[in-house]
A = this chain, B = another copy of it.
Amino acid sequence: MEAQITIGQLAKATDTKAVTIRYYESAGLVSPVTRTEGGYRLYTDRERDRLIFIKRARHLGLSLEDVKSLLGLADDQSAPCGQVDSIIHEQLERVRARLKDLQQLERELDRLEQCCQADTVADCKIIESLSQ
């Protein structure tokens, strides 16, 4: 006989907000196994594990859509894992692209920050640089 917990308990156990869990449900990621007569959602360890999985995957910056795919794949032990690889690989590429952008941005902001020694906007190199 498996223990059943409410959404609040699941929230606490996984360090997720109850509203977020409901949101994930609406996105098709986790559903309660059943409900009380009064309509309270009830979950088991399986859902807790699923939520932890989601948290880890989200921590990697994956979209809910990707997380959903991963969950689907994880459920099917005999599935080929090429799709898993490609989800991770594409995310890595996105992260690298974003890193490049941000590094460029850092240089620009740093340069801008250095160049302003003025007191008023009239002489401000930053404003000047933006206005050109």
Binding site for B on A (CB under 8 A): 49, 52-53, 56-57, 60-61, 70, 73-74, 76-81, 84-85, 88-89, 91-92, 95-96, 98-99, 102-103, 105-106, 108-110, 112-113, 116, 118-124, 126-127, 129-132
Distance to closest chain B CB from A93 (angstroms)? 9
Contact of A120 among B78, B118, B122 (CB under 8 A): B78
Task: Tell me if A's interface is mostly helix, strand, loop or mixed.
Answer: helix
Copies of this chain, count: 2
A130 B53 Cβ-Cβ under 8 A: yes
Residues from chain B with a CB closer than 8 A to the CB of A76 are 121
Residue among A78, A81, A116, A131 with most chain B CB within 10 A = A81
